[in-house]
Chains A and B, each alone.
Chain A
Amino acid sequence: AQTVTQSQPEMSVQEAETVTLSCTYDTSENNYYLFWYKQPPSRQMILVIRQEAYKQQNATENRFSVNFQKAAKSFSLKISDSQLGDTAMYFCARPASSNTGKLIFGQGTTLQVKP
Chain B
Amino acid sequence: EAQVTQNPRYLITVTGKKLTVTCSQNMNHEYMSWYRQDPGLGLRQIYYSMNVEVTDKGDVPEGYKVSRKEKRNFPLILESPSPNQTSLYFCASSLRGAETYEQYFGPGTRLTVT
Question: Interface segment, B16-24, B64-72, B77-85, B94-102?
Answer: B94-102
- Assess whether B42 is in contact with A107, with CB atoms less than 8 Å apart: yes
B31 CB contacts on chain A under 8 angstroms: 101
CB pair A91 B98 closer than 8 Å: no
Q: Could you tell me if B92 and A91 are in contact, using CB atoms closer than 8 angstroms?
A: no
* 10 intermolecular pairs with C-beta atoms under 8 Å apart: A44-B107, A45-B92, A95-B100, A100-B56, A101-B31, A102-B58, A104-B45, A105-B43, A106-B42, A107-B42
CB nearest neighbor in A for B96: A101
Q: Name B32-86 residues within 8 Å CB distance of A.
A: 33, 35, 40-45, 48-50, 56, 58-59
Q: Nearest chain B CB to A107's CB is how many angstroms away?
A: 4
Interface of A is mostly: loop
The answer to whether B43 and A101 touch across the interface, beta carbons within 8 angstroms, is no
Chain B residues packing against A (C-beta within 8 Å): 31, 33, 35, 40-45, 48-50, 56, 58-59, 88, 90, 92, 97-100, 102-103, 105, 107-108
Size category of the A interface is 20 to 34
Chain B residue numbers with a CB within 8 Å of A4 are 42
In whole angstroms, how far apart are the Cα atoms of A45 and B88 in the complex? 12
Give chain B nearest CB distance to A23 CB in angstroms: 11
The digit string for A77-113, where 1 denotes a CB below 8 A from any CB of B, is 0000000000000010101111111111111100000
Where the two chains meet, the residues of A that have a C-beta atom closer than 8 Å to any C-beta of B are 4, 6, 9, 32-33, 35, 37, 43-47, 50, 91, 93, 95-108
B108 to chain A, nearest CB (A): 5
- Docked Cα-Cα span, A93 to B42, in Å, equals 10
Q: Please, how many angstroms separate the alpha-carbon atoms of A47 and B50 in the complex? A: 20
Could you tell me the distance between the alpha carbons of A96 and B45 in the complex, rounded to whole angstroms? 11
**Quick check: A98 and B105 within 8 Å, CB to CB?**
no
Name the one of B48, B97, B108 contacting A99, with C-beta atoms under 8 angstroms: B97
Alpha-carbon gap, A48 to B92, bound state (A): 15
